[in-house]
Amino acid sequence: MTTHLSFWHLVLESSWIVKLVLLLLAAASVTSWSVMFQKRAIFRKVWIGVRQFEKSYETQGTDLGKLYRQISENEPEPSIFESLFQTGYREYARLLRLGTPAAALDGARRSMMAVERRELDRIEEQLPFLATVGSTSPYVGLFGTVWGIMTAFHALGNVQQATLSMVAPGISQALIATAMGLFAAIPAVIAYNRYQTQVIRLENRMDSFVDEFTSVLQRYQPALGTGSESR
C-alpha cells in the first residue's frame, strides 16, 4: 500500500471545485499580506509624524504663528497632526477677522474635525478587506472540504469494497481547503485587530489635540486677530 501523499500531489489530484477554492483563498491571502505590509508602513510613518509634531509643538507652543510658518514653508506633505494644526490655526485666524471669537473658534474646531475624519478614513481604507478575509476564509475553506468529501464518498459508491487507502487521498484533498482557509484567515484577523487598535489610539490622540488646541486658540485671540499667518 502506497502512502505517498505530498501537498502538491493532493492539490493536483483534487476536483476542479476544490482547486478553485484553493486558488481563491491563495489570492485572498496574498492580497491581505500586501495590505498588511502597506498598512505597517503607513502607521509607522504616521506615528513618526506624530512624535515629530508633538516635539515641535511643545518646543514652540508659545509661538503658534512661528510654528505655522515653519510647517507651511518646510513641509510639502504635512503629517496628520500638522494638517490639523494648520487647518485650525488658519481657519480661526480667517474667521476671527470676519466674526466673533466664539464663531471663529467653532468654525476652527469643525474644520479640524473634518480633517480628522478625512485622515482617519484614508488610514482605515482596506482594513475592512482584512476583516472580510478573516471572517469568510474559514467558511470558504470549509465549503471546499465538504465538496471534496462529498466527491470522495461518491467515488466510493462505485467500488465493491472500500479501504482506508482509497478514502485517505480524497479526505486529505478536502482537508487542504480547510487548512488553506485558516492560513488565509488567521493572519488577516490578527492584522485587522492590531491596526484597528492603532486607529482607535490615533483617533483618541487627535481628539485630545483638537480639544487642547481649541483651548489654546481661545488664549491667542488678540494675536491671531491682528496676525498675518492666516494667508
Average pLDDT over residues 44-69: 85
Hey, what's the cell of 139?
A: 467558511
Average pLDDT over residues 40-59: 90
- Count of domains observed in the chain: 1
Burial class of 83 by CB neighbour count within 10 A (0 to 12, 13 to 18, 19+): buried
Instruction: Spell out the residues 6+ positions from residue 90 whose beta carbon is closer than 8 angstroms to its own.
Output: 68, 229, 230
Which of these, 109, 98, 114, 113, lies nearest to 217 by C-alpha position?
109
> Whole domain around residue 125: which residue ranges?
7-226
Q: What pLDDT, on a 0 to 100 scale, did the predictor assign at position 29?
A: 94
Q: Is residue 231 part of a domain?
A: no
How many angstroms separate the CA atoms of 108 and 95, rounded? 8
pLDDT digits (tens, 9 = 90+) for 86-118: 999 999 988 888 877 888 889 999 999 999 999
Q: 70-74, 81-85, 198-202, 220-224: which has the minimum mean pLDDT?
A: 220-224
The answer on pLDDT for 159 being more than 70 is no
Average pLDDT over residues 70-98: 86
Distances (CA, A) of 84 to 24, 53, 111, 212: 41, 11, 8, 12
- Three-point CA angle 219, 220, 221, nearest 5°: 95
Q: Side chain identity at 129, as an amino acid letter?
A: F
Q: What pLDDT, on a 0 to 100 scale, did the predictor assign at position 216?
A: 86
pLDDT digits (tens, 9 = 90+) for 165-210: 656 666 777 788 888 899 999 999 999 999 999 999 999 999 999 9
Q: What pLDDT, on a 0 to 100 scale, did the predictor assign at position 229?
A: 44
Q: Is residue 17 part of a domain?
A: yes
Whether 50 contacts 80, CB under 8 Å: yes
Q: Is residue 19 part of a domain?
A: yes
